[in-house]
Chain A
């Protein structure tokens, strides 16, 4: 999609505590234990979690990374404008989480971007008791994958959001340990 080195790195799953290059090792992150996140863009602001969206320009991009909330189009408008998305047709997919006995279903339709999906998945599996497992952060992070139209299992976050919603048939939140086992670099 984008030329490497121009900042259009594939949005990658980030696991473990979101440290800012070692600064906040002590920081206790009580919230997400998995994220779909992009590269820090190294801008002068010192924030963490400058979540980036893939620029959907099919190679024409000038290297600009799009940041959260910019351009300032309000979320209602983003969700309801027509940009190729069929509105009114529900896009429910099954979601399984390793260790959770019961599957859930989630509607991808209302979301406009990956971070919204992440939040929704967190809510969905919130009641699943993983609290003790979190102590050993290294071994119990998760990675989110999806099954596409061709039946292949893909890493969530690689392609632009719209492309993802069109091809995603089901989601699986897989243990990091298993991910490493099949060679997924996270």
Chain B
């Protein structure tokens, strides 16, 4: 091409192209576009930290400003991934400290982050602005103190559900008086008391503070003083929502909440004293998101609250809401897009609340925009699932958890195959599905046939044999993440669909009859895929090849076998050699 237009023009055009998908497409046009694009890419998303390594990332994209990395497999949330598995942020931060001095944003999920890492962030990136750590662990409040003290332009510090070694609340006082840049602070996961006056001063001097999520130790009495200092708040998470009944506290709270004219999202609400719930009534009509999933309030109080939130788009709540509360939700909240109902007492076989499949059916009937569902309940029927599928054809995420494993249709005692089949057949845009209840291979036949846009599938205690897994692997064209536990899926389906695994981000299987021999075969067959056997009983070489392994994690990678595996993980080698 003798007459290509100047690089600067192309760069300018590319600055409007934001999504990874589009950027990747641009880079495939020709070599010069690939070059230009890679120099001006500013954000990178790494869905599996072992799919690539820092060196590769830096070599291709030298000018990154924002990095997002995910570590452990999703089932780590349920204690299925052994301690010490991996997902260490350390090698990344070391490499980026050298290569990306202008780095501004780090977002991590399920990674192990040490205080050293936090110190490195604080000292290496002078323009550092955003740190989000979702479900991470390995660091303490000392690391946070370092961030607070050194990141001059910090805008976001979000510790979302991380496990932090809480040495003291004193770290918050390390924000210097000159720090006025904070826009978002989420410390809800911290256990110990932060110095309240330091918090108050911090809030006062940050005029752009839009999001603030407190931890449980901040008492209700302190809220009014805090809220009047943060009138720009869009999202707010309370601490413990309880205090002795005092009328002046209630009226102070009412005024304080009323003063936050931009408030759209509320959360927190631990240990609720119902008499104080009316304090938030003034802001209800503006709320688009309400997280009551830690609130121990009963259905009548929830109903009074929810019925005032006509603009609600997202509700997270405990099953205390009951079917009656969900009926009210269906009547009052016509803009609802996302519903999550969590179990208040998941380990009791007997229901402690009157929440059944009917609640979800009502919501599907009343809320035409429903897209995303996470629902824990104790019984389900095919009939209910048919109705839900019919009412909500626009579902994108459907995660149903019937608490008793392998529970059949409670009316007919049949498997729930047909019900879930209706969901995948009617909900053409479905991207994420979690199954539960009694299911045969038939449900997988439906899924393989209809769920063409499905990207993530979670299966537990389901199916009859390899055929089930085969349907999924051969039929689901868009499948990226598959996680399976306690299902009778074994070698045959995996070996027959080995090539599929090269097109997916990852496959997790635990407590399934997959033999060690099959894992070795997969390791040989698959190129640029790590086949990792996780077994805490010691090397699988000491048992026959036909012996079933405990857990299996298979993922595509450019990085070769991991170099940081713990002693209970064996990577199957491409030559079929005995892993050491």
Asked if B376 is at the interface of the complex by the 8 Å CB criterion, the answer is yes
CB pair A71–B191 under 8 Å, yes or no, is no
CB pair A44–B550 under 8 Å, yes or no, is no
From 486 to 500 in chain B, residues with beta carbon under 8 angstroms from any chain A beta carbon are 486, 488
**Of the candidates B216, B348, B512, which one forms a contact with A57 in the assembled complex, judged by CB atoms under 8 Å apart?**
B348
CB pair A76–B345 under 8 Å, yes or no, is no
Given contacts A27-B543, A68-B78, A87-B191, is CB(A47)–CB(B347) below 8 Å?
A: no
A49 to B342, CA, bound (A): 27
From 62 to 119 in chain A, residues with beta carbon under 8 angstroms from any chain B beta carbon are 62, 64, 66-77, 80-83, 87-88, 109-110, 115-116, 119
From 538 to 580 in chain B, residues with beta carbon under 8 angstroms from any chain A beta carbon are 538-539, 542-543, 547-548, 550, 567-568
CB pair B547–A64 under 8 Å, yes or no, is no
When C-beta atoms are compared, the residue in chain B nearest to A62 turns out to be B349
- Given A47-B550, A71-B403, A73-B376; 13 other pairs, CB 8 A cutoff: A24-B537, A48-B550, A49-B536, A53-B347, A55-B348, A57-B348, A62-B349, A68-B78, A70-B78, A71-B346, A81-B344, A88-B240, A116-B79
A71 to B344, CA, bound (A): 12
Proximity string of chain A (168-181) to chain B, C-beta cutoff 8 Å, 1 when within and 0 when not: 00000000000000
Proximity string of chain B (265-294) to chain A, C-beta cutoff 8 Å, 1 when within and 0 when not: 000001100000000000000000000011
B309 vs chain A, min Cβ distance (A):
23
A87 contacts which chain B residues (CB < 8 A)?
191, 216, 270
When C-beta atoms are compared, the residue in chain A nearest to B549 turns out to be A47
Given contacts A44-B488, A73-B342, is CB(A55)–CB(B78) below 8 Å?
A: no
Asked if A28 is at the interface of the complex by the 8 Å CB criterion, the answer is yes
Proximity string of chain B (281-315) to chain A, C-beta cutoff 8 Å, 1 when within and 0 when not: 00000000000011010000000000000000000
Asked if B511 is at the interface of the complex by the 8 Å CB criterion, the answer is yes
CB pair A73–B543 under 8 Å, yes or no, is no
CB pair B539–A68 under 8 Å, yes or no, is no
B513 contacts which chain A residues (CB < 8 A)?
45-46
When C-beta atoms are compared, the residue in chain A nearest to B378 turns out to be A71
B244 contacts which chain A residues (CB < 8 A)?
none
CB pair B538–A82 under 8 Å, yes or no, is no
Proximity string of chain A (119-159) to chain B, C-beta cutoff 8 Å, 1 when within and 0 when not: 10000000000000000000000000000000000000000
Question: Number of B interface residues, CB 8 Å?
Answer: 56
**Of the candidates A20, A28, A82, which one forms a contact with B296 in the assembled complex, judged by CB atoms under 8 Å apart?**
A82
Asked if B259 is at the interface of the complex by the 8 Å CB criterion, the answer is no
A70 to B270, CA, bound (A): 24
CB pair B346–A73 under 8 Å, yes or no, is yes
Asked if B506 is at the interface of the complex by the 8 Å CB criterion, the answer is no
A29 to B568, CA, bound (A): 9
A180 to B446, CA, bound (A): 56
Proximity string of chain B (201-220) to chain A, C-beta cutoff 8 Å, 1 when within and 0 when not: 00000000000000011000
Question: Number of A interface residues, CB 8 Å?
Answer: 49
Proximity string of chain B (183-194) to chain A, C-beta cutoff 8 Å, 1 when within and 0 when not: 000000101100
A20 to B77, CA, bound (A): 27
A53 to B78, CA, bound (A): 14
CB pair A48–B401 under 8 Å, yes or no, is no
Q: Report B's interface with A, CB cutoff 8 A.
A: 75, 77-80, 83, 135, 161, 163, 189, 191-192, 216-217, 240, 270-271, 293-294, 296, 342-350, 376, 401, 403-405, 434, 458, 460-461, 485-486, 488, 510-513, 536-539, 542-543, 547-548, 550, 567-568
A183 to B460, CA, bound (A): 41
23 A-B interface contacts by CB (under 8 A): A18-B537, A23-B543, A23-B547, A27-B537, A27-B543, A47-B548, A47-B550, A50-B511, A55-B348, A57-B348, A67-B405, A68-B78, A69-B80, A71-B376, A71-B401, A71-B403, A72-B460, A74-B78, A75-B78, A81-B294, A82-B270, A87-B270, A88-B216
A56 to B547, CA, bound (A): 34
From 14 to 62 in chain A, residues with beta carbon under 8 angstroms from any chain B beta carbon are 18, 20, 23-24, 26-31, 43-50, 53, 55-57, 60-62
CB pair A60–B543 under 8 Å, yes or no, is no
Question: What 7 A-B pairs have minimum CB-CB distances, sorted nearest first?
Answer: A69-B78, A74-B77, A27-B538, A28-B538, A76-B161, A47-B511, A45-B511
**Of the candidates A29, A44, A60, A77, which one forms a contact with B538 in the assembled complex, judged by CB atoms under 8 Å apart?**
A29
A71 to B350, CA, bound (A): 14
A72 contacts which chain B residues (CB < 8 A)?
77-78, 401, 434, 458, 460
A67 to B567, CA, bound (A): 25
A53 to B348, CA, bound (A): 11
A55 to B349, CA, bound (A): 8
CB pair B349–A88 under 8 Å, yes or no, is no
A73 to B318, CA, bound (A): 12
When C-beta atoms are compared, the residue in chain A nearest to B272 turns out to be A82
CB pair A45–B294 under 8 Å, yes or no, is no
A80 contacts which chain B residues (CB < 8 A)?
189, 216, 270, 294
Max chain B C-beta neighbours (<10 A), residue from A23, A26, A69: A69
A37 to B486, CA, bound (A): 19
A49 contacts which chain B residues (CB < 8 A)?
536, 550
A112 to B11, CA, bound (A): 53
When C-beta atoms are compared, the residue in chain B nearest to A109 turns out to be B191
A72 to B342, CA, bound (A): 10
A116 to B488, CA, bound (A): 28
A30 contacts which chain B residues (CB < 8 A)?
538, 567
Given contacts A53-B347, A70-B405, A72-B401, is CB(A46)–CB(B548) below 8 Å?
A: yes
